[in-house]
Amino acid sequence: MDNYGYFDDGAREFVITRPDTPWPWINYLGTDDFFSLISGTAGGYCFCRDARFRRILRYRYNGVPMDAGGRYFYIKDGGTVWNPGWKPCRTPLDSYECRHGMGYTRITGEKGDLRCSVLFFVPPGERCEIHRVTLSNTGKNQKRFQLYSFVEWCLWNAQTDLENFQRNLSTGEVEIEGNILYHKTEYRERRNHYAFYGVNRKFDGFDTDRDTFLGPYNGFDAPEQVLAGTSGNSTAHGWSPVASHRFDFELGPGETEELVFVLGYVENPPERKFSAPGVICKTGALRLMDLFGTAGKADDAFGRLRAYWAGILGRFQVRSGEPRLDRMVNIWNQYQCMVTFNMSRSASYFESGIGRGMGFRDSNQDLAGFVHQIPERARQRILDIAATQFPDGSCYHQYQPLTRRGNHDIGSGFNDDPLWLLFGTIAYIRETGDFGILEVPVPFDNRPGTEKSLLEHLQVSFDHVTRNLGPHGLPLIGRADWNDCLNLNCFSDNPDESFQTTENRTEGSRAESLMIAGLFVVEGKDFAELLERIKAPEERIGEVREAVRKMETAIREYGWDGEWFLRAYDFNGGKVGSRENAEGKIFIESQGWCTMARIGAEEGLCDKALDAAERLLGCEYGLVLNNPAFSSYRIEYGEISSYPEGYKENAGIFCHNNPWIIIGEVLASRADDAWDHYCRISPAFIRDQRLHKVEPYVYCQMVAGKDAPKPGEGKNSWLTGTAAWNWHAVTEYLLGIKPRYDGLLIEPCLPEGFGTYRVHRVFRDAEYDLTIHSSAPGKSRFIPYEPGKHSLELFL
Ligand code: GLC
Ligand code: GLC
């Protein structure tokens, strides 16, 4: 790898070696409910709990230049002003390095014999960012210079902050006390929270009013005060509150100065909001300053953060002869799964944090990626999700993390949604053995008094499919299935309405989904197994098995197109994803789910479908979603055909569903093909970082497909079900470590010559050290769960 950075596996870091990456390459900080996005140049923002309602720093999405706003440190050294992260001044540096690690980022810049290194992290369990700054004189002469800090506050609601200027520009309020600059906009009324930016050293000047600091016509790259070497000592009233400290330094050769900044968020109980009329009660801020306000205390907190991550990642570690596989499994794939647990699809550099909350299907799928790391929190997540379901099994498509309430704007009607609750819950019970969760009473639509056991929620999820079958006995698709953009009932000709929410035609609809059909068979079999395991009434189990059997028959009868599985039937009963179609002849989703369901495997249907997928969808960078791409808008298909060819759901490489094919290949014992598909989309195997464009250490939702102008260009990085699905595929199907209700089933499927690998797996109260010699796929061994430490050698 060359160009922009490399992996340092020993430190579990990705090291960016030049700041002008083709797109901002970011990291996430935070483990509990305070989170930050931080780019390699210190851009980004933080929020508490909810990226929309409790935004702390202002950030301008898609601004010019890109990635504007963050935590900026300016150094004014004589006539030169520079930033350790290069941006925003972009003064050329003598050296630059950014290390994105597990929950922290360290940016180091050097210029004119002065080195400035900033370690950014959020201490576990606390609501603040630490900025630990180290300044060193690396030269032979005395140096006099100034250091400025700078952040810009968001007025809490990230959406109105961008819209409601007639109000916003009058509401800003701050306080200044000691070394701390407080942000208290709207604290006088209903808000019980404030933010602050403090430092453990007396400053020489400060600003809290943006125009005073920058000058009304200057950008972040040329703050008037910094250029002049002064501070305005301004107090913001309305307009745009900011926080900047100034320090005048003198450093001898070899000397070092250390500062600890704390950027925090505090909630006060309503009765203890004020210490005097109109004055914030500051004990919370002072507590945080005291907790972290020396270099030693900050280092201790950083040590705890590293230990936290070592613990989380240590629950699954592999050692194989392929370092790129180990790197993904041991570090980056697991890390990304935790980030998707925390963020769902809310805040990334492609998700503004105001548009989408937690997706019902997304959050359930994400579970498969993090349940082994934080089983207790997975439990709560399942209960929260289930509570947004309706009594008929349908569910809100999204909910807000702050309120945990369903989101009315987008509503319901995505007919795959209910089944994902089965997927998530079963993954959880297999990991934990906690059958008790099935007994927990959970309300519908969060209405008190409507509680039914989680098991009943699973049942209504299952029944929702059987009650909504179309003319071929296949599931009705509703607004859409997993593919949000296959809108077969929408018929939208109005550019001002959303494909996702506009009124659908339901009268006379026959649109059916083969993707839901395959998913139903897979989840239905798992559901039946669960019901057997908990000794549910025979009759019930029989009904489930019978519904699954009928679905299998319907798929074979109406879902096979000759060489692959159909994708759907449209509103009028026409075939979608058939050789009869001129465009969109074949789709990936139904090949994935129907081969995972092993439909017609004995007659070779699965092999044929997998071959067709590779032949028609395959390219160097993975499998595209459909082929040929739609070349014009098709009102009867909806949003899918709104994208230009090769992007997103219109024949982009949707990395999320590539692992479905990997699993399909594994179940067909085609190890080489499975491995090949894995290598094509796994970030550790990316060769051309410039082409890939987005972060080469995490999966992105989509890579431009073979029909796009630039195949191989990635987009929408970080928040994608791709993380969980690849985790699931690589650990359970390729490496073959499958959690089961009563133990681990070891069933590898790796190319010949892969040889021996070692896995350390924490499973409930047990730890397994496995040495696995794998020869041919298809062999397995069951290891019953038993608390304690076990060392086993398996020849498979
Ligand atoms: C996005 C959505 C996911 C959907 C997929 C395909 O990744 O988050 O819910 O399944 O797109 O449309
Ligand atoms: C758009 C995107 C899709 C995403 C959906 C979320 O349709 O193309 O990927 O899932 O928006 O609402």
pLDDT tens-place string over residues 601-623? 999 999 999 999 999 999 999 99
What is the residue-wise DSSP string for 195-222?
EEEEESS--SEEEEEHHHHH-TT--TTS
Half-sphere exposure of 144 (CA within 13 A, CB side): 4
User: Among 148-157, 189-198, 400-409, 464-473, which stretch is predicted with the lowest mean pLDDT?
Assistant: 400-409
**Ligand 2 geometric centre to CA of 640 (Å):** 10
Ligand 1 atom closest to the Cα of residue 485 is: 12
The pair of structure tokens assigned to 766 is 């047990």
User: How far is residue 696's CA from residue 700's CA, in Å, rounded to a whole number?
Assistant: 9
**Ligand 2 geometric centre to CA of 483 (Å):** 8
Instruction: Tell me the pLDDT tens digit for each residue of 416-474.
Output: 999 999 999 999 999 999 999 999 999 999 999 999 999 999 999 999 999 999 999 99
**Ligand 1 geometric centre to CA of 348 (Å):** 15
Instruction: Tell me the pLDDT tens digit for each residue of 643-691.
Output: 999 999 999 999 999 999 999 999 999 999 999 999 999 999 999 999 9
The pair of structure tokens assigned to 765 is 């109260």
Q: Report the mean per-residue pLDDT for the chain.
A: 96
Mutate to test the pocket of ligand 1, among 345, 350, 656 (most ligand atoms within 8 A of CB): 656
pLDDT of residue 753: 86
Query: Residue 440's CB: how many other CB atoms inside 10 A?
Result: 16
Q: Which residue has its alpha carbon closest to ligand 2 atom 3? A: 484
**For the residues 773-786, what does the mean pLDDT come to?**
92
Q: Which residue has its alpha carbon closest to ligand 1 atom 8? A: 362
The answer to whether the CB of 359 is under 6 A from ligand 1 is yes
Percent of the chain with pLDDT over 90: 94
**Ligand 1 geometric centre to CA of 410 (Å):** 14
Burial of 317-336, coded b for 16+ CB within 10 Å and e otherwise, reads bbbbebebbbbbbbbbbbbb
User: Among 69-83, 126-140, 347-361, 645-659, which stretch is predicted with the lowest mean pLDDT?
Assistant: 347-361
User: How far is residue 77's CA from residue 91's CA, in Å, rounded to a whole number?
Assistant: 12
Residue 611 makes CB contacts below 8 A (sequence gap 6+) with none
Q: Among the options 207, 366, 416, 484, which is catalytic? A: 484
**Ligand 2 geometric centre to CA of 17 (Å):** 33
**For the residues 682-704, what does the mean pLDDT come to?**
97
**Per-residue confidence band for 2, with pLDDT thresholds at 50, 70 and 90:** low
Query: Residue 391's CB: how many other CB atoms inside 10 A?
Result: 14
Rounded (10°) CA dihedral 724, 726, 729, 730: -120
Residue 595: C-alpha distances to residues 23, 659, 722, 752, 792 (Å): 37, 12, 19, 23, 32
* Ligand having the closest approach to the CA of 345: 1
Residue 1: pLDDT over 50: no
* Ligand having the closest approach to the CA of 642: 2
Instruction: Tell me the pLDDT tens digit for each residue of 170-210.
Output: 999 999 999 999 999 999 999 999 999 999 999 999 999 99
Mutate to test the pocket of ligand 1, among 363, 364, 484, 658 (most ligand atoms within 8 A of CB): 484
**Ligand 2 geometric centre to CA of 731 (Å):** 28
137: β partners:
114
Instruction: Tell me the pLDDT tens digit for each residue of 272-324.
Output: 999 999 999 999 999 999 999 999 999 999 999 999 999 999 999 999 999 99
* Ligand 2 binding site (Cβ under 6 Å of any ligand atom): 484-485, 500, 639, 648-649
Catalytic (active site) residue 484: yes
Mutate to test the pocket of ligand 2, among 396, 410, 417, 649 (most ligand atoms within 8 A of CB): 649
Q: Which residue has its alpha carbon closest to ligand 2 atom 4? A: 484
**Ligand 2 geometric centre to CA of 637 (Å):** 14
Q: Which residue has its alpha carbon closest to ligand 1 atom 5? A: 483
- Kindly report the backbone phi and psi dihedral angles of residue 698, in degrees, each rounded to the nearest multiple of 5, phi listed first: -135, 160
**For the residues 718-747, what does the mean pLDDT come to?**
98
Q: Which residue has its alpha carbon closest to ligand 2 atom 11? A: 484
Residue 721: C-alpha distances to residues 465, 497, 546, 660, 677 (Å): 23, 26, 31, 12, 17
Residue 400: pLDDT over 80: no
The answer to whether the CB of 665 is under 6 A from ligand 1 is no
